[in-house]
Chain A
């Protein structure tokens, strides 16, 4: 293989599709993201055409025939190329862009479910409401029904964050003292990754989340389960784990519904074992990663609010993390 071919064979797939699609505006999975994707396509094509026109003009200016160059070297050419052409194209584009904006912000129907999301340094508090308006709290993983418009009510507990799940929609900032509203829907079941898009200090880079879109029936079942208290520990180790959790004071910050742990500072852990990831979509959920977060969270996410708990023996740590992993 010649060097030249080696380069193309590497770069072409990268440019075309060499990306996984879980957090990409170029792989739209909902109507909002799709409209923006189409707009982006038109913008890219238009930009390419304009770029070619400018480069062609530049080429003619430097290497063209004397007649062509004379034609180009006039005030008229400047007025046509620099004023008339951009005015017409930009006004057309503006109209189209505003139309897309209106389409994206106009509600399709009543929202199937309303979800409050609170940005915190550096995780996402997620709150559903049951029929009676009681809070069902979770963190960093958001389930939504496929094909229905979902309304997110966004706010922040500390600094400015931004809610962004590129496969589904554009981003919207989250402010302390304000509530912003974002409506979106997913066309297909799947897992879509999102990430905080407004610099929020320290571990901003590690403030991610996942939106899991499931069929509407599954969603109802899931929400009903989610509303229930945490499952009671079965087996000796898990029971020991729960005792340790409560005795070590974890409940001062974390809540596990159905136990005396009712802290509101950190993420609700009622069903932490059922989430795909922990630490704001940074580590896959498992006994081992849970143990790491307990002992060494400051290395996983420097500056986060949880101090390292190095008070447990290896056996105790295993029991504790096992108990948490079993909360499904």
Chain B
């Protein structure tokens, strides 16, 4: 039986989807409060962050697809889990930017 000592890399590899989602979330939400207090275009940040995020998610998910076909039996399971997590994260990111089409930053809930 081959022993795989779990390295931090595994966490990044298997949970890349949700971790990238979290980073996108942080940037998009955090930059709004910055934009509201310090100025600057929030919409631009959202667009740029989302393009980068979707690119990264597509890349990591594609990589996970390849790995799930190639890797040994022990980690294959987790690589297919990573694929599904990637797709769920893409959905979540798309849902996340939907409100940005309808609302602009810093609108008061009057």
Contacts and interface: CB of A to CB of B under 8 A. Distances in A.
Contacts, number: 34
Given A87-B91, A90-B95, A95 B102 contact: yes
A101 B103 contact: yes
Nearest to B99: A98
A4 to B, nearest CB: 46
B98 A95 contact: yes
A181 B108 CA distance: 8
A180 B110 CA distance: 8
B110 A91 contact: no
A71 B106 CA distance: 49
A72 interface: no
B91 A98 contact: no
Interface string A20-48: 00000000000000000000000000000
Contacts of B88: 83
Contact of B102 (A87, A102, A181): A102
B95 A105 contact: no
A94 B109 contact: no
A98 B88 CA distance: 22
B11 interface: no
A102 B95 CA distance: 17
Given A91-B95, A94-B95, A183 B110 contact: yes
B107 interface: yes
B99 A105 contact: no
Given A87-B91, A90-B95, A105 B102 contact: no
Contact of A94 (B99, B108, B110): B99
Contacts of B107: 102, 105
Nearest to B108: A181
A14 to B, nearest CB: 33
Contacts of B95: 90-91, 94
A98 B110 contact: no
Contact of A105 (B91, B98, B108): B108
Contacts of B110: 105, 107, 151, 181-183
Contacts of B94: 91
B20 to A, nearest CB: 19
Interface of A: 83, 87, 90-91, 94-95, 98-99, 101-102, 105, 107, 151, 172, 180-183
5 contacts: A98-B98, A98-B103, A101-B109, A172-B109, A181-B110
Given A94-B98, A95-B98, 16 more contacts: A83-B88, A91-B98, A94-B95, A94-B99, A98-B102, A99-B102, A102-B102, A102-B103, A105-B109, A172-B109, A180-B109, A181-B108, A181-B110, A182-B109, A182-B110, A183-B110
In the A-B complex, the 9 residue pairs with the smallest Cβ-Cβ separation, listed nearest first, are A183-B110, A181-B110, A98-B102, A98-B99, A105-B109, A105-B110, A102-B102, A181-B108, A94-B98
